[in-house]
Structure 1
Amino acid sequence: MLSRLPRLLRPPLSRSLASFPPPRLFSYDKIVANMSVADAIPAIEDCFIKLAQGQVDVPMPMHIGIPESGAAGPGDCHVKGGHVIGASTWTVKLANVSFYKNPDRGLPPGSGVFIVVCSETGAPLGIFSENRYLTDCRTGAAGGVAFKHCAAPGMDTVGFIGAGAIAKVMARAASCIRPFRGVVYAPDGAEAFKKEMENELSMPFEVVDSAEKLCRKSDVIYTQTPGSKTVLEKKWLKDRVTIIASGSDQPTKQELPTDVMAASTYITDLTNQCVRVGELRSAVKDGSMKESDVYAELGEVVAGMKPSDFSGIVVVDLTGTGAQDAAIGTVAWDKMSKLPE
């Protein structure tokens, strides 16, 4: 009898349980060839509505800092994720950014993976080696949603402070909403940005030699810079302007002066995140604003829960939410799982 005891204590049916198949691996090249910011916009718009309705489980991001040394860093790791209630998948995203020694090695300064998981079984379905491409797409899609709902028709001169990957994806997303005239200022890459965007979007772009000139021309301004220095001044702005800021996603970053923030109708992507890592953090820190000064979260505007007949300065603060990662993860899996292995 004692010899049979281990077998009797074994969980029922353990010998009949199958293991999960390994998740599919999708390469960066395959992702780029099959996904675009246009694919993401409807899902990102819907995820903001669900976020406002409390239909998303989205934890605060985890940040890991990599100190600078002779060989590494300075680098940052962001871990974000979420689940849109009712969706067939949920996503955890690991994004590594600001590894500025990488270009000397012939490597990009950022990388990352999406892990898309089945909502029914909890089994990982796909690992997307996206190297920030899906992250950029979902960031750009949020910028497109903000343009659609927070900048009135007729506000059609759109400025881009910064001319890197995020500026390009913001321009692509905005072009999915409506035609515009583009203006770009950047210390480097502005002419290349103008040429690429004009060829790709068939819209006119103008290069200017200062942020001030850009602000004085622009009805809508996208800021997407990586540093901790502010990039514009309140006195440069038109009386009516929408600023869509996406550069601040850590406590060390700030793109907008706090007097601009205090004078604005201020909209967050996720307030409890913006007050920690977004533009709101700086304004609260110096006393220019309180958290209660937030007009709305973007999803409340998109869902019609808050009016969108704005005047004066409007600021939309995009820190990037796990809800967006969850949404584009589902889109990526639904589309790319149908491709041949």
Structure 2
Amino acid sequence: METLLLDPEDVAESASLPAVIDAVEGAFGAYARGDVQMPAKSYIDLPQHDGDFRSMPAYIDLVEEEGWEAAGVKWVNSHPHNPDDHDLPTVMGTMIYSDPETALPLAILDGTTLTRLRTGAAAAVATRHLARADATSLGLVGAGIQAHTQLEAIAGVRDIETVVVADIDADAIAEIIEQYGDDYEVREGSIDEAAACDVVSTTTPVEDPIVESVGESTHVNAMGADAAGKHEIADDVLLDAKVVIDDHAQCTHSGEINVPYTAGVLDDEDIHAELGEVVAGQKPGREAGDGVTVFDSTGLAIQDVAASHIVYEHARERGIGTDFALVGTET
């Protein structure tokens, strides 16, 4: 059997976002039940190049619940000087998606597009379980490419009517308004206005909090913090909220809570649950009387594997991608 090569356009064309959301939700539930293997993310630091490599492997067993299992590894980098020095992206990812039974590499996928999709899907899963059922307004703090996926994914789980976008880049805001203005009431607003919406997703790389207040019952998807020192949401907001994280080790090291947790401002008593526990029904999501909820997302390898499963299956069904002989035949 040949391996399927899926470039960025192939991944985007093969990704049914509702199916990716459901698969990522299933992966979170499997994680809470102990039906995944996910070694810690490993790093190769390259200070001489001001960059690093990261490997993210995982296996998911959802055979009993959904009839599938999957395995894979994402190889991703961060080289901040790439755009200026080499005309290359800062971050590039490659995903190897494998058959757990035979170890055959079923597909090699563009991991950058995949990451964008699975990150939006994680926010949608959190929104499904933590936001008010009648939420109709969405705030976007940060108008980069991830903001687009946040909107598309969250609108798949809540009836979004109004979108408020805050960013220092007027062109980025204009792009969102132009792309989605026919489907929603989209307008530019301040960070405070965006954060007062029923749901707000923050996707900025800041180290000093920029969201100082939110609405009385806002659900916050804190998506921007992915390294130690990054911090978008004010400590007072976090301390007053029901906080749900994707993974304790990752979030306390490099998620939204990493700064106040390290400083002792916030501790384990202030963390309600991991998202998988909520999905699996082990701990409650939004309850009557809840005010602000926060989802701290760092991104897990199981999300990449789950998204790869959907993309691969859809690509095979539709004849998308390029087959090639990666594995030779033994004699």
TM-score by length of 1: 0.84
1:16 corresponds in structure 2 to: none
Deviations 1:257-291 (A, max 9, x none): 22222221110111222111112221211211112
SS in 2 for 1:177: coil
Q: Which residues of 2 match residues 1-341 of structure 1 at below 5 A?
A: 23-67=3-47, 74-85=50-61, 86=63, 87-97=68-78, 99-102=80-83, 106-130=87-111, 132-180=112-160, 181-188=162-169, 189-199=172-182, 202-208=183-189, 210-215=190-195, 217-233=196-212, 236-307=213-284, 308-309=286-287, 311-338=290-317, 339=319, 341=323
Pick the structure with greater CA Rg.
1
CA distance in structure 2 between the partners assigned to 1:198 and 1:322 by the alignment: 34
Tell me which moved more, 266-275 or 328-337: 328-337
Deviations 1:107-159 (A, max 9, x none): 433211100111012222211134x1011100000111111110012222110
Percent of pairs with identical residues: 28
CA distance in structure 2 between the partners assigned to 1:23 and 1:190 by the alignment: 39
Contact 2:229 2:259 in 1 (8 A): no
CA distance in structure 2 between the partners assigned to 1:272 and 1:47 by the alignment: 18
Contact 2:16 2:310 in 1 (8 A): no
Contact 2:214 2:237 in 1 (8 A): no
2:329 corresponds in structure 1 to: none
Contact 1:36 1:137 in 2 (8 A): no
Q: Which residue identity does 1:333 align to in structure 2?
A: Y
Q: How many residues are matched? A: 310
SS in 2 for 1:173: helix
Contact 1:37 1:169 in 2 (8 A): no
CA distance in structure 1 between the partners assigned to 2:175 and 2:52 by the alignment: 28
Q: Which residue identity does 1:311 align to in structure 2?
A: D
Deviations 1:78-119 (A, max 9, x none): 321211124432010112245354167554332111001110
CA distance in structure 1 between the partners assigned to 2:54 and 2:19 by the alignment: 24
Contact 2:77 2:93 in 1 (8 A): yes
Contact 1:266 1:293 in 2 (8 A): yes
CA distance in structure 1 between the partners assigned to 2:268 and 2:19 by the alignment: 33
Contact 2:256 2:296 in 1 (8 A): yes
The higher relative CO (CA closer than 8 Å, separation ≥ 6) is in: 2
CA 318–230 in structure 1, closer or farther in 2 if over 3 Å, else same:
same
1:12 corresponds in structure 2 to: none
SS in 2 for 1:295: strand
Deviations 1:136-188 (A, max 9, x none): 10000011111111001222211000011111101000111122111110111
Deviations 1:230-263 (A, max 9, x none): 2211xx3222211111111221322222222222
SS in 2 for 1:337: helix
Q: Which residue identity does 2:279 align to in structure 1?
A: V
Structure 1's consecutive aligned runs of 4 or more residues displaced over 6 angstroms after TM superposition are: none
TM-score by length of 2: 0.86
CA distance in structure 1 between the partners assigned to 2:216 and 2:107 by the alignment: 47
CA distance in structure 2 between the partners assigned to 1:100 and 1:142 by the alignment: 29
CA distance in structure 2 between the partners assigned to 1:197 and 1:100 by the alignment: 32
Contact 2:27 2:303 in 1 (8 A): yes
SS in 2 for 1:120: coil
SS in 1 for 2:26: helix
Deviation at 1:65, TM superposition (A): 4.2
Contact 2:82 2:89 in 1 (8 A): no
SS in 2 for 1:193: helix
Contact 1:250 1:277 in 2 (8 A): yes
1:6 corresponds in structure 2 to: none
Q: Structure 1 regions of 5+ residues with no counterpart?
A: 1-20
CA distance in structure 2 between the partners assigned to 1:55 and 1:95 by the alignment: 25
